[in-house]
Structure 1
Amino acid sequence: MRRPPERATLAALWLLVFSVTTQTMILAPILPRVAEQLRMAEGRVAWIGTGYSVAVALVAVVAGPVSDRVGRRRMLLAGAAAMTVGLALHALAHGFGSFLAVRVLTGAGGGVLTGATAAYVGDYFPPERRGWANGWVMSGMAAGQVLGIPVGTLLAARSGFHAPFLVFAGTMAVAWLMIVRWVPQPDVELQHAPLGTRYLVRHYRALVTRRDAAVAILSNFGMFGGTALYVLFLPTWLEEARGATPGQVALLFALGGAATVLAGPAAGRFSDRTGRKRLVVGASVGLALGIVATVPVARGMTAAYLLFTATMALFAARASPFQAMMAEIVPDRQRGSMMSLSMAVGQAGSGLGSALAGATYAYAGFGGNTVLAACAALGMAALVASYLPETAGSYNTRENQP
């Protein structure tokens, strides 16, 4: 079979990530519209997000080993189809129960796609271009922040909260068609054991008993948790302490998203040439410094724009090579499980970080949030520097058998 153009494969994965990310993030800004149209308290509607996250995490844990058995392409097709149907069914959501049901179905699709997309990049792209490919695919998340969220918010205001989900059903359907056409099954070693509970338990036991895999998963937990600690209450602090307007906050995040789009692929390509470990460690240390500098440095919005843009560039400079590193730590037959479990644990880290962010902001102010977030970044740097191998260059996952 003729190998499709590499950039076409990347485009399919990029649109997939863009659609998944945007339909997830859109709930927060349109929450008032949802509460108004469904005639319920915003606090109750917020549980919809919890239902989605739980579905993602539970399905991801099962989907990872399954993808190691049946291949990543099948999982991408199944996950994209499930999410397309789930998003389209949002048109029928006219109450709490029906809205929760369609979000859970959509979350199930997200659970399949979360690890399968990252694992596919590790399977398909050779080590010398893996960081670059990860950077481009992950830039779909930032593009969702810059483009998808504002457009979705505007659609919800004009046409009702169902409208953005239906648009994202369309983009996901296009992504599914692109996967059919341009995303082949990579030529990698798969598991051959029969599927079942025993297979899942044995598969994950073999994974988490590897020190490098366990440390990488723990580092991902800290990365997601630290991000939530810093970002969640940044807009609130800027409005309360610096007098920022909603428009200025929107511009801040647009600039941060643009920095991520540019920095992610560049950092990935740089890690392909010079190594992933030093870039992850260096970006984490720089990120910690940028985070703790927020309160004393960002005394006006111009300084906040510059600092946040630099900080988001460092976030991307850390995330792209680290995702490539996680995919390379384990052999082909464990990659799906590794990426799915790490993403599920990352979701847990984000949840814990969000909870800590609220409590810390209430008792210590945003300065306390920045200290904890910086500690999380430094902790990740220490773990990666001390326990994880350099995986770029001559490192070959097929030879890295447990």
Structure 2
Amino acid sequence: MLLLVLAVIQFTTILDFLIMMPLGPQYMRVMHISPGQFGFMVSVYAISAGIAGLVSGFVLDRFERRAALLTLYAGFGVGTLLCALAPSYETLTVARAVAGAFGGVTGALVLAIVGDVIPENRRGRAMGVVFTAFSLASVLGVPIGLALATKFSWHAPFFLLAAATAPVWFGTAAFIPKLQRPVYTKTQMLPHIRTLWLAPAHLRSFLFIALVTGSGFAVIPYISPYMVKNVGLTEAQLPYIYFVGGICTIFSMNFVGRAADKFGKSKVFKVAAIAAGGVSMLLTSLPRVPAPVAIGVTTLFMVGMSGRMVPAMAMMTSVVSRKERGGFMGVSSAVQHFASGLASFIGGLCLGQGPQGQITRYWVVGLVSVSFALSSIWLSRKLTMVEDL
């Protein structure tokens, strides 16, 4: 039950982030904003989550996990409600920052709790269960959100999501036990923070997860426009990318998690990262093909990206002791959010536009993604696991 509750929490926080992207045309039409303004509204969530993650690294380990989770998730629910009530672009942008601050740290704390309560030899499978939330958000959440936005308005998905956080909060209070007392006093925090930020093992881990995250987000933001402008999909066919890919990753992530526990997380990560790199090059070089072929390639990409994230996050929870894990995962979350933003920016710098509006040099973005992936494979060999359960 604990893993189920944590997965539902992840589902709501991930959906809150995902639902913005396919609603772009409606926001631009209703709010009369430019693509650049919409892009900023999307990115402010990640920026806010990154800043909050850095701050949480200083204080999160002073609080008992369950109490911290309930507080953060309540803040996320309030932030989502503010998004639903926002009357303008400016107020929605501020509300997205609030939701991002609480949602980002909530996600990091969920992973820290998995690391606390699940033994290392079963942590890969547990991460697979929790990360299934991303697949379900893609398969169920995004289509439902789009349908509500189309029938009513862009406010509707946020009202539904805000309402859903209430029973999830009570479920968390009922099924998540008290997990850890505060382990650091105020006088102990400075040495803890110094270790958290400056320990070579931690720095290698942060760089590792930044490379893993950046490898995906150099490519991901530009998949939809490339599919429409270069490959030949219509905008009406784009939801199938989420639906089919999400269904496949539901099964693949659990399979990868079990394989990571059986064969070793590092070994499975290397295989998944190499496979994902190959698919990245295929996707970013894809010519005009029938829709089923295009959706098949994007599905392979999603399976590869999510497949390497499962063992990567299991490894991240294993490089620190339990008493440091909350702050460590908070900083890790911040690193991931900043890495996703930077990688997206780098990817955009690589792209060009043809005379008919088609995207050019996407294959260069693929090379950037592969270079990040290969670097993460090399760095994964430098990580040191700590067994504390």
Shared fold per TM-score greater than 0.5:
yes
Q: Secondary structure at the match of 2:344?
A: helix
Q: Which residue of 2 aligns with 1:122?
A: 115
Query: Shift of the alpha carbon at 1:297?
Result: 6.2
Give 1:207-356 correspondences, 5 Å limit.
207-295=196-284, 300=289, 301-356=291-346
Structure-1 separation of matches of 2:293 and 2:90: 45
Structure-2 separation of matches of 1:268 and 1:365: 34
TM-score using structure 1 length: 0.88
Structure-2 separation of matches of 1:18 and 1:97: 27
Structure-1 separation of matches of 2:345 and 2:184: 41
Q: Which residue of 2 aligns with 1:133?
A: 126
Count residues in correspondence.
382
Structure-2 separation of matches of 1:282 and 1:41: 41
Deviations 1:212-257 (A, max 9, x none): 2211211111112111112222222222222112233321232222
Query: Shift of the alpha carbon at 1:207?
Result: 2.0
Structure-2 separation of matches of 1:366 and 1:223: 19
Query: Shift of the alpha carbon at 1:305?
Result: 2.8
User: Sequence identity of aligned pairs in percent?
Assistant: 25
Query: Shift of the alpha carbon at 1:326?
Result: 0.6
Structure-1 separation of matches of 2:252 and 2:273: 14
TM-score using structure 2 length: 0.91
Q: Is the CA contact 1:225–1:350 (under 8 Å) kept in the aligned structure 2?
A: yes
Instruction: Decide which of 181, 192, 201 is 1:203's aligned counterpart.
Output: 192
Query: Shift of the alpha carbon at 1:40?
Result: 4.0
Unaligned runs of 5+ in 1: 1-7
Which moved further from structure 2: 85-94 or 166-175? 85-94
Corresponding position: 1:104 with 2:78: no
Q: Secondary structure at the match of 2:185?
A: coil
Instruction: Decide which of 186, 191, 202 is 1:194's aligned counterpart.
Output: 186
Query: Shift of the alpha carbon at 1:39?
Result: 4.3
Structure-2 separation of matches of 1:295 and 1:164: 31
Q: Is the CA contact 1:64–1:115 (under 8 Å) kept in the aligned structure 2?
A: no
Query: Shift of the alpha carbon at 1:338?
Result: 1.4
Q: Which residue of 1 aligns with 2:387?
A: 396
Corresponding position: 1:380 with 2:376: yes
Query: Shift of the alpha carbon at 1:175?
Result: 1.6
Q: Which residue of 2 aligns with 1:69?
A: 62
Distance change in 2, residues 1:116/1:94 (3 Å): same
Which moved further from structure 2: 67-76 or 244-253? 244-253
Distance change in 2, residues 1:295/1:100 (3 Å): closer
Q: Which residue of 2 aligns with 1:170?
A: 163
Q: Secondary structure at the match of 1:30?
A: helix
Q: Which residue of 2 aligns with 1:3?
A: none
Q: Is the CA contact 2:219–2:344 (under 8 Å) kept in the aligned structure 1?
A: no
Question: Which amino acid counterpart does residue 108 of structure 1 have in structure 2?
Answer: A
Structure-1 separation of matches of 2:362 and 2:45: 28
Query: Shift of the alpha carbon at 1:155?
Result: 1.0
Corresponding position: 1:151 with 2:147: no
Task: Supply the RMSD in Å over aligned alpha carbons.
Answer: 2.2
Distance change in 2, residues 1:178/1:64 (3 Å): farther
Query: Shift of the alpha carbon at 1:110?
Result: 1.2
